[in-house]
Every structure is written in C-alpha cells, then in structure tokens.
Structure 1
C-alpha cells in the first residue's frame, strides 16, 4: 500500500512512512484514507468535528445486512451473506454493510470470498459492524471485548471495508458512569491503534446505554486523540424528546450513518422523515456511506427495495 500511495502522491515510499521525513503520522493517515475512498480526506483529532473538503457533500448508499437479521441469523439461516450481496446487487446501491454477526467463518479465505463476490457484483463493502461491550468491569471479559474489536478490524481491512461500527455498552449495577467512561475511552484508544495500522476507521454508535444522548456519546469520542475514530450516526436510536435535533449535534462527527425508517421521539415510534434525515447529513457536509438499516415490521424483501430507491433519490437530489 505504501508504494501505491507514494506513486499516487508523487513521493518516495520512505516519505509516506509514519514518522518519515515528509509526513507526520496524522498526515500519513489522511493520505491513506483519501486514497482508499475519501472517507476522511482531511482528518482531525476526534476532539473536533471532522473537517470536510469543500462544500459539496459526498453521500454513498449502502445496505446493512442487519436489515435481514431474521433471515441471516446463523442459528437458523435462510439466507447467507453471498445471497444478501446478490439481492443488494439488484438495488440502486453503492455498497453493502456486512455485519459481523452473520459471517459463517472468520477465516481469511472466507473474507477473500466475500470481497471477491462483492466486487463481482460491483458493490463496495462499506463497513463491518461489531457487537461489543466496553463497559464490562470484569478484567478478563473486558480484555476479550477489546480483542474482539481488534480482530474484526483486521477482518474488515481484508474485505476492504472503510469502517468498523462499535458500541460502548451499558452501565453495570454497582459501577459508576465516570469509571465506565474511562474504561471505554481506554478501550477505544487501544483499538484505534490497530485501526490506524489497518487503514480503517472505528465508528462509535449512539446505541443507548451510556451513549443514549449526544453529550454522552461525545464524552467518549472527544477525549480520544486518534484520527481513526468517528461516529456512526444511527438515525433511529435516540429516544429523546427531539431525535432530529440530537442527530444534528452528532452529525459533524459522523464517518458513517445507519438510516432507519423509524424514529422514537420520547420513546414513541413513528415513521422517520427521511428527507429531513438526509438534509441533516448534507447540512453537516457529511462524507461517507449512508447504510439503510431496516428494522420495521414489514417483510424486508418488500420494504428494503422501496426504501433503497427513496434514499437514492434523496441522496442524489
């Protein structure tokens, strides 16, 4: 990769090495991410909103495998990830998001097959969401959760994914928020070192628990001094009085977004205003993948194509 970047940037390979004579580590990461798709072309520390190039947004449409959760569930699957990619290839999409929950194997050979199949269908792999809990107090379990994210970050790199969605977790009985936040930040920092090595960005999701509000989420993101961290903007996870206002607060930190077709103001379910959601992303000059993540009650094989077409029009408009 170093030699490809050097040719692209018209520099010597030595100049592109972290700590090399011409580029700092941060500049190296910025160049690397620009070369693999422009996800974060001008990277700043996570303490600040992400600086975007120019005024033009760059939204690409993906489809989350979680949209077909019941069909892909490895306990009793009626669809595999290859069939999911086949289905996605018939929709107006740029990419697919292949959630870690549905990988039948974790071997390099399986990852290579997934990547090759997506490429054959002319789809990128936008991300690999992971289910983790950095809040656990037990040291053995805590270390295992960190290792899980590290391992999936390496697998994500093997399939060419740009992001790895991560969670913070839930406050355990008897623990304190301050103590948990310190553990989570420490875990993120450790995982970011691996993400930087593999050219992947970790995306912390607003997923309830200790990320139920924008302030709680950003309290975990802002202290991390790594260019390999951003936010996964999940548009259906805020159950606050005004989810749209809260999405606006975290949008400047977003590196990927999962768009749901429902919102829950005050915890009450209602159809999402998708045009408003896309406008929030555009107003934040968002650059990256927008993944449709369908979780409503209708048959996803019927509902997903409809919403994919709607989001394509909104993104393109």
Structure 2
C-alpha cells in the first residue's frame, strides 16, 4: 500500500472560461479559417496500449516546497509499491534543477523499474506583455531540456486565460506562436509538448482544438485531462480530444456545467481511451478530498484492472 505523512495545503489553480466572441466562430481568426495542420495522432497496430503512471501532484499537500514532508525521491519510493509503469514528476516539487539532482531522480526511477511519463509545468501563453510572454516561453524551454535529461516523454503545458482588454483571436495567435516556438525546441531535445485542456482558452473541446489544429510540429499533441471539461457532457467532450492525445491524466471526479462534483465513471473513461486506440501513459492525478494515502492505492488498483 502507498503510505505518506501529513503536510501543507494543496496547490490550486484558477481557470477562466472564455467564450468565443459572437463576431467570430471558434474555427476562425481575423485572417480567416484556421488551417487544420495537425491530424489525429497515428495509432500503429490494432490494439490500444495504455501504460499506468502516477502524478506527483496527487501528493501535492506533502510535496509543497513551502513546507514539504515528502521529497520527490520519497514519492518515487512510494510509487514503486504501486502497480505502475511510470511516475509523472510535477515541476512544482523539484527542490532544485541541477544536472546532478536530475540524474539522481532518473536513477531512483530506474532502480525501481519506473519510467518518467512526463513533467507537467505551469505557464500562461496568453500574456500580452512581450517580455512576460518571452519569460513564459523560456521557462517551458528550460523544462523541455530538463525533461530530456530525465528521459521523460512529455512536458505538459497550459495555454492560459484571457487577460483583461484582450481578444480571443489575438490571444490564440500568441499562444499558437508560443507553442510552435517551444515545439521547435522540443524537436531538438527529443521531448514532446502536450497541451492540456485546462480552462481558460481551452475550456471546451472546440477552443482547445482551435489551437491544436494550428500547431505544425511532430513533437506536439494533447494532454487529455479527464476532469477539466466542466460542461454538460464531459465524457463526450473527452472523446472529442482523445484522437489528438499523446498522454492522459485521469481524475477520479468530474464537474459538470452545474459545478457539482461527482465520482468519475472510470470504466467509461478507460473505454473511451481504448476505443480511440490510445497509446501512451495514463497518469492518475488524484485531486479529491479523501486522504491520498487511502484513496490513491484504491484507485490505482481499479485503474490497473481497467487498463490491463
């Protein structure tokens, strides 16, 4: 069983749902129709291949660097007792970023036979100020290089939220340009960029795919977060983006448009992934209220049975 101690309060993030202006359709910019530059991710073979991972964010109240009771090394040791192929090492909890530290993390994973499925980072590419936007891009590039040293497959990014006085079309253009710049760097270092559906200007499948279909890079895809569509039918919306997914984060709850939380139908979620012939890591990212040391082992066991 996974066991952990007690710790600080959970990290939280704010999302702003941005509707498309009535004067422009979701698939348009001021320059006209958006070219569909990226196709759904090719799925070689006839069978899905889901590999189970565990997100460090599941233990955020213990890993919070303001008052940590666990280190990432502790998290890796704990995860090694679970039925996993990999761990997801959230950037928020790296005590340092030196090459020596990264090598120790990679080596600890190897000792336990665990891969590193990804390194999620927090960013906002909706920044209007050029210097602030450049800083956000530089941060992602730096984490791409660190992920490469860790031999992680992906770096998870956000698009961001519309700033006051901005327009959706202008924000979309900046975000796409920023993602493409990061993807060019990702291709050089051998890591993939995974854009998450995370509120803001990715709050619906249509908004997310408006961005995704403009990015021209083989090092790009979607991080399918199963808990982040707060819509009338989150399951149907998850299914719309899975064809573009290169990694997934499974949450144990969904929140519909009425803002009410309900237990996620995990068999249905895994079925959606399998029916799309998804091939990649599926990380449990636990965010519910129950104590993680109790809930995480139970959900991992259920996911192991579902994933196969």
TM-score, normalised to structure 2's length? 0.87
The separation in 2 between residues aligned to 1:254 and 1:231, in whole angstroms, is 4
* Counterpart contact for 1:231–1:253, Cα < 8 Å: yes
Question: How far is 1:154 from its partner?
Answer: 0.4
Q: In the comparison of the two structures, how many residue pairs are matched?
A: 272
Deviation at 1:55, TM superposition (A): 1.3
1:47 is matched with 38
The one of 117, 137, 144 equivalent to 1:126 is 117
Larger relative contact order (Cα-Cα within 8 Å, sequence gap ≥ 6): 2
Which stretches in structure 2 are left out of the alignment for 5+ residues?
A: 1-35
Equivalent positions of 1:143-222 (< 5 A) are: 143-222=134-213
Aligned residue for 1:113? 104
Unaligned 5+ residue runs, structure 1?
1-44
Query: The residue matched to 2:50 in structure 1 has which SS?
Result: strand
1:15-66: CA deviation from partner (whole Å, max 9, x where unpaired): xxxxxxxxxxxxxxxxxxxxxxxxxxxxxx9621011102110100000000
Alignment check: 8 A CA contact 1:46 1:227 kept: no
Shift of 1:119: 0.3
Match of 2:230 among 239, 242, 255: 239
Checking the alignment, whether the CA contact within 8 Å between 1:239 and 1:265 is kept in structure 2 is: yes
In structure 2, the partner of 1:104 is 95
Equivalents in 1 of 2:270, 2:239: separation in Å? 11
Which residue of 256, 266, 273 corresponds with 1:281? 273
| CA displacement 1:236-286 (0-9 Å, x = unmatched) | 000000000000000000000000000011122100000000000001100
Per the alignment, residue 35 of structure 1 pairs with none
Q: Matches of 1:224 and 1:213 in 2, distance apart?
A: 18
Distance 1:132 1:55, change over 3 A: same
Q: For 2:120, what is the secondary structure of its paired residue?
A: coil
- Map residues 227-306 of structure 1 onto 2, 5 A cutoff: 227-266=218-257, 267-306=259-298
Q: What SS does the aligned partner of 1:256 have?
A: strand
Between the aligned partners of 2:260 and 2:41, the Cα distance in structure 1 is 32
Deviations along 1:145-202, whole A, 9 cap, x unmatched?
0000000000001011000000000000100000000000000000001100111110
Q: C-alpha distance in 2, partners of 1:214/1:195? A: 24
Q: In angstroms, what is the RMSD of aligned CA positions?
A: 0.8
For residues 301 and 120 of structure 1, what CA distance do their matches in structure 2 show? 23
**TM superposition outliers: structure 1 runs of 4+ over 3 Å:** none
Between structures 1 and 2, the one with greater helix share: 1
